[in-house]
């Protein structure tokens, strides 16, 4: 189904051509949803943008556009507001017919893209031999939501986990383990992952303070890169153990990823340096091989370098990222590459993208996007930490979310005198707790920091996961109370939108496609969250003001279909965010 917004844009574009000639064929009709219902459902300000080039009054231009519009079946007669805004109000019959059209469709009428281009979403990316912490939360769930949305639209999405599984940190850890716990280098799971983290921290201290140990660690890196059998065996043991730990988190959050770590690109790093030399971009600076960047300067105004080979001959993150871009373009055939990392890496990626473009590694027809996000903060407004000041482990945070949800459920059930089985409570607590964490994050503009607060996340009022889950549950309650199977409702029933709350709800249901397409472009999942919250509000108003089960036919079936469409829209929208629903709460 072509979205209402696209139909209106096409209609205004045709009216522009009819009124002012073929030169208007490429003119953006500037149609958008209104922010205030008193201005109608959609609005165009194209007349204002044409006032200067046409040397006419914008209201007169708006009237000419209206005179040439052919939207009688869609809208009431458009009106002109202010200096020349054109307001459009959808007809209730038109809305009802569209709802009837999408009712049998599992996708609710939402179209897929015509060309299934290859899109890579690079997200999560924890480091081997370290535990995932709260800092990995945002990359993991934002990246997953973006991947889900693009997959739903029909793109061929490759979800990549660019884990930190190579480099100096392994040299440090292996060198330290040879001294302290040599068994860990030959035997699987000889140490817990938490112990490995502690030992890594001790290794880092030694590396920074002990020159002899530093040289030993660097030699371990050389051995690893050269394929020394004992070093590779130790490395594989550490990687396998970390992968299993990561998978526990991914299973909890229902995250699907293909791992392709830094080590994957190690064989290609030398070629990257050679290519940069051939292009003439590479310069030697203080012993290191660099590319100096346009638009990046230090405090003295001198150009900043992107280092691709260190003075000791080693490579770094930039070299790996350049090799990854080359592989993703040449081998994966990606047309769009999306990197979901914290905002602190913005300059790094800007530099890598610039060099990749200049070197011809990144063609102009391939889009690369850095999707930055802010910090997760505690109630004190600082980076979220444990009481001892340590970084919060992601597994602990998720477990705590489920515990909070269970306590909240048990308290409410006790207050209502309601008894439920332990199995029901366990399942509901798991879904609500994890959904609350995901939704609290995704509902924020990802570029902003946000405060992590279990009490707010689990609130049944406001823009929260429990509020949306409850809005989904309400139609299921209607189904149970009336002994009605929504899937067996007569799809030929005309949907009657006679009450204001019915019409407002129907219009809202039909906006999901517009929102999904917006997120496809902007990569801001919070837009879907806001849409679902507003849809839920409109449904609750409809539910409170319109009797469903006691209405006369055909109004009863019409309202049942409207309730079912709302539930299915909420379920679909939440699924795009990686959030499950419950049939009862």
Gap between the Cα atoms of 488 and 551, Å rounded: 18
In a shared domain, residues 203 and 295: no
Q: Give the per-residue pLDDT at 46.
A: 96
Q: How far is residue 105's CA from residue 502's CA, in Å, rounded to a whole number?
A: 21
Q: Are residues 213 and 355 in the same domain?
A: no
176 and 149 fall within a common domain: no
Report if residue 98 sits inside a domain: no
Q: What is the DSSP letter of 335?
A: S
Residue 349 and residue 486 in one domain = no
CATH at 415:
1.10.730.10
Task: pLDDT tens for the chain, 585 residues: list them.
Answer: 778 999 999 999 999 999 999 999 999 999 999 988 888 999 999 999 999 999 999 999 999 999 999 999 999 999 999 999 999 999 999 999 999 999 999 999 999 999 999 999 999 999 888 888 888 999 999 999 999 999 999 999 999 999 998 888 888 889 988 988 888 888 888 778 778 888 888 888 999 999 999 999 888 888 887 788 888 888 888 888 889 989 999 999 999 999 999 999 999 999 999 999 999 999 998 889 999 999 888 888 888 899 999 887 878 889 999 999 999 999 999 999 999 999 999 999 999 999 999 999 999 999 999 999 998 888 888 888 766 666 788 999 999 999 999 999 999 999 999 999 999 999 999 999 999 999 999 999 999 998 888 889 999 889 999 999 999 999 999 999 999 999 999 889 999 999 999 999 999 999 999 999 999 999 999 999 999 999 999 999 999 999 999 999 999 999 999 999 999 999 999 999 999 999 998
Q: What is the extent of the structural domain holding 527?
A: 401-576
CA distance 240 to 233: 11
493 lies in the same domain as 429? yes
Closest C-alpha to 354, from 325, 313, 312, 384: 325
- Per DSSP, 302 falls in state P
Positive or negative, the Cα torsion across 397, 402, 408, 410?
Answer: negative
Look at strands 85-88 and 42-44 and give their pairing: antiparallel
Query: Of 40, 52, 48, 49, nearest to 8 (Cα)?
Result: 40
307 forms bridges with which residues in the sheet? Answer: 290
Question: Are 174 and 317 part of one and the same domain?
Answer: no
pTM of the model: 0.93
pLDDT of residue 383: 82
pLDDT at 66: 96
* DSSP track, 203-225: HHHHHHH-HHHHHHHHHHHHHHH
Residue 498 lies in a domain: yes
Pair (151, 272) in one structural domain: yes
Is there a single domain that holds both residue 125 and residue 266? yes
212 lies in the same domain as 125: no
């Amino acid at each position: 189904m072509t979205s209402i917004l696209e139909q209106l844009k096409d209609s205004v574009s045709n009216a522009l051509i009819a009124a002012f000639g073929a030169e208007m064929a490429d003119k953006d009709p500037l149609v958008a949803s209104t922010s205030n219902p008193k201005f109608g459902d959609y609005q165009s300000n194209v007349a204002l943008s044409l006032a200067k080039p046409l040397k006419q009054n914008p209201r007169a231009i708006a009237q000419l556009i209206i005179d040439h519009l052919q939207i009688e079946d869609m809208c009431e007669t458009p009106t002109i507001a202010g200096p020349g805004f054109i307001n459009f109000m959808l007809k209730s019959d038109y809305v009802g017919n569209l709802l009837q059209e999408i009712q049998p469709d599992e996708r609710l009428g939402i179209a897929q893209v015509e060309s299934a281009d290859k899109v890579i979403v690079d997200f999560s990316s924890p480091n081997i031999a370290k535990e995932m912490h709260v800092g990995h939360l945002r990359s993991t769930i934002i990246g997953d939501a973006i991947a889900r949305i693009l997959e739903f639209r029909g793109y061929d999405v490759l979800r990549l986990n660019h884990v930190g599984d190579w480099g100096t940190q392994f040299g440090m850890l292996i060198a330290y383990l040879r001294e302290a716990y040599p068994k860990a280098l030959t035997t699987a799971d000889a140490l817990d992952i938490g112990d490995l983290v502690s030992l890594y921290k001790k290794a880092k201290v030694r590396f920074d303070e002990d020159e002899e140990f530093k040289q030993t660690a660097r030699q371990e890196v050389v051995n690893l890169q050269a394929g020394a059998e004992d070093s590779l065996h130790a490395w594989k043991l550490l990687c396998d153990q970390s992968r299993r730990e990561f998978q526990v988190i991914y299973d909890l959050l229902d995250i699907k990823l293909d791992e392709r770590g830094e080590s994957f690109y190690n064989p290609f790093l030398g070629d990257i340096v050679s290519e940069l030399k051939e292009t003439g971009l590479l310069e030697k600076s203080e012993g290191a091989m660099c590319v100096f960047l346009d638009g990046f300067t230090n405090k003295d105004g001198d150009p900043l370098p992107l280092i691709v080979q260190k003075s000791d001959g080693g490579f770094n993150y930039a070299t790996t990222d350049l090799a990854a871009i080359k592989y993703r373009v040449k081998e994966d055939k990606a047309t769009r590459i999306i990197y979901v990392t914290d905002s602190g890496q913005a300059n790094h990626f800007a530099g890598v993208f610039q060099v990749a473009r200049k070197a011809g590694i990144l063609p102009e027809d391939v889009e690369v996007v850095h999707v930055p996000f802010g910090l997760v903060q505690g109630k004190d407004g600082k980076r979220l930490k444990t009481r001892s000041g340590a970084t919060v482990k992601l597994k602990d945070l998720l477990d705590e979310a489920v515990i909070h949800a269970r306590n909240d459920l048990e308290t409410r059930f006790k207050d209502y005198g309601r008894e439920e089985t332990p199995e029901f409570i366990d399942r509901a607590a798991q879904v609500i707790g994890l959904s609350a964490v995901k939704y609290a994050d995704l509902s924020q503009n990802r570029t902003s920091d946000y405060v992590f607060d279990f009490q707010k996340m689990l609130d049944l009022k406001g823009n929260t996961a429990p509020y949306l889950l409850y809005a989904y549950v309400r139609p299921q309650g209607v189904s149970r109370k009336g002994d009605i199977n929504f899937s067996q409702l007569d799809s030929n029933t005309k949907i009657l939108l006679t009450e204001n709350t019915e019409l407002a709800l129907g219009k809202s249901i039909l906006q999901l496609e517009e929102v999904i397409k917006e997120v496809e472009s902007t990569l801001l999942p919070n837009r879907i969250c806001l849409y679902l919250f507003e849809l839920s509000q409109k449904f609750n108003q409809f539910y409170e003001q319109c009797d469903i089960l006691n209405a006369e036919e055909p109004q009863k079936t019409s309202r049942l279909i409207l309730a079912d469409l709302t539930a299915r829209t909420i379920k679909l929208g939440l699924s795009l965010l990686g959030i499950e629903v419950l049939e009862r709460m």
